Amino acid sequence: MLQSAVVLRLGTMMLAAGAGSYRVKSSMAKAAAAVGLDRHEATVTMTEIVTSSYVGDCFRTETAEVRRVGVNVDRLEALRRIVHDLRQHERVEQLDKKLDEVQHMHARYGVFANAAASGVACAGFCFLNQGGWVECLAVLFAAFFGQVIRRQMLERHFQHFFTWIVCGVGASSVYMALVTLLGALDLIDGNHQGGIISAILFLIPGFPMVTAMLDLVRQDFSSAISRASYVMLVMAAAGVAVWTVTFVFHWDVEASYTYNPEGLLLYGLRIFCSFIAAYGFAMLFNAGPKAAGLAATVGALANTGRLLLIDEFGVPWQLAVGLAAVTIGLLAQAFVSRASLSRVALSVPAVVIMIPGVPFYRAISALNDQTVDANAAVGVAATNLAEVFFVITAIGVGLAMARILTDRRWRHDIPTSAVAALLPSHGSASEPGRS
């Protein structure tokens, strides 16, 4: 009973910190072998785990529900190190003590730093979406305010759908107020309404989106479908929120921008904005400075290369995104052994900046726009949704291909329960773990 309970506890902690199904099941299988169980099987969704632990002909089936799901890279890294250091004949009490230490870990960043990361990341995102200095500045403050609201609501256990709606309304309202105020003071001219969408890009659920795609590639459909459903739910909530605000105040999310940098200046700015956007998202995921810096470097190189392929060489954007995702996966693997960090900690913040949040929210707005021809609105929505679908698919395929090329356990269809077949004994050396 104690053996199966500590294994299940490890799994629930990893799931609550944002780990994908494969990582949760393989970690539990290794822990089960370490504490003396003969075999361990598990079914994992985004919020539930069902496990069966075997000793000889006896087995015990347990279930657990994880309601407080989120992303915490720092905690995931701590749990990964615990799993990597497991040895044969591990004492249950010792493993439980290690999990207690992880359970009591505090967030790396306070409210201000966390909100500032959101603002800077979305401002960088705004520039990459062709926003000018007015849009980027307004997005900086709007996303800062929105992240403060989200953190406070999540700490008070508010429901995610409701939280995303409130944050979407709050961030878009702040953006609208700032741009309106600057216009009333004659400090700006022109139409800067379209940048409002970038103000809510911090609400993109990048981590579950990526893990859903990777779970799907491994044919773990129960986890992939539940994560994908969650992603669609919260993105729809944010989309409805921004549409409501823009509809009430008659704002145009298709507004054009005025900035036109070219040449080396353009690509220098893209590298810089890609770096700060990826670094900011890594901080939102509670990644440490080293993980955030490496992820930002990987993201800046790959994303700028993607834009270069599209603009200068005419590469189709789906192919460019797929190549960038493969590059991110391979670069993350190259840094894994040197930095003793997991792939997911380095790759997810880097690919998040390529997720097409703007087209998704524009599609929501187009579907609800009653001021234009219905067929035209449906056409705009369909075009944007097609772009979202193909870009997300390209990201998933790219990351999966990188993983298949660098991980034998992804090239072959090996049962997850078999990954713990050879555990080192106490006192033996082993190479740094990779995940």
2-56 tens-digit pLDDT = 899 999 999 999 999 999 999 999 999 999 999 999 989 999 999 999 999 999 8
pLDDT at position 249: 87
Q: How far is CA 422 from the centre of its chain?
A: 32
364-397 tens-digit pLDDT = 777 766 555 666 667 778 888 888 889 889 999 9
Which ranges in 249-285 belong to alpha helices (H)?
263-284
Q: Packing angle between helix 374-406 and helix 206-217, nearest 10 degrees? A: 60
154-174 tens-digit pLDDT = 999 999 999 999 999 999 999
What percent of the chain is predicted at pLDDT more than 90?
62
117-149 tens-digit pLDDT = 999 999 999 999 888 899 999 999 999 999 999
Q: Residue written as tokens 């870990």? A: 105
204-245 tens-digit pLDDT = 998 899 999 999 988 899 999 999 999 999 999 998 898 899
Domain ranges of the chain: 1-106, 111-411
pLDDT at residue 406 is higher than 80: yes
pLDDT at position 375: 67
Contact criterion met (CB below 8 Å) for 333 and 435: no
Mean pLDDT of the chain: 88
pLDDT at residue 413 is higher than 90: no
Task: Tell whether pTM > 0.75.
Answer: yes
Q: Please, what is the end-to-end C-alpha distance for the chain in angstroms?
A: 28
**Distance in angstroms (rounded) separating the CA atoms of residues 394 and 417:** 29
- At 339, the pLDDT band (50, 70, 90 cuts) reads low
Mean of pLDDT values over 48-69: 92
